[in-house]
Homo-oligomer: A and B are copies of this chain.
Amino acid sequence: MEEIGQTEFICPSDTFLGIIKGKCKTTLIVLIKKGRNRYGEMCRTLPTISPRMISKQLDELERDGIIERHSFAELPPRVEYTLSDYGETLYPIIREIRKWGYMHQARTK
């Protein structure tokens, strides 16, 4: 049997969950991955999430190195987000999570 200790148990899960927990981070990652990567666009796609929250979640994802922010000095201003190489590594897992969700969402409620 594998070694069982507190550190081994908690840390690995929290590395991932600490990054993608939060109101709508997986959703934002998927949107960006699909090219729907501008702030206003995301707000319109997710009308039930407040712009403040979308902004905050994008900030945190950028801080964690998952996404990159590209700001264009135009009028009107434009900002696009892209997945970083690091962010790409967790995308397959998000797909798995979403696939599981599709299969089992009937069960929850």
Which residues of A are at the interface with B, using a C-beta cutoff of 8 A? 1-2, 4-6, 9-21, 24, 26-27, 30-31, 34-36, 45-48, 64-65, 86, 89-90, 93-94, 96-102, 104-105, 107-108
Contacts and interface: CB of A to CB of B under 8 A. Distances in A.
B65 A13 contact: no
B11 A101 contact: yes
Contact of A30 (B9, B45, B86): B9
Contact of A2 (B6, B20, B21, B34): B34
B6 A64 contact: no
Contacts of A4: 31, 34, 36, 45
A91 to B, nearest CB: 11
Given A16-B97, A46-B6, A105 B11 contact: yes
Nearest to A6: B46
Contacts of A46: 6, 9-10
A54 to B, nearest CB: 12
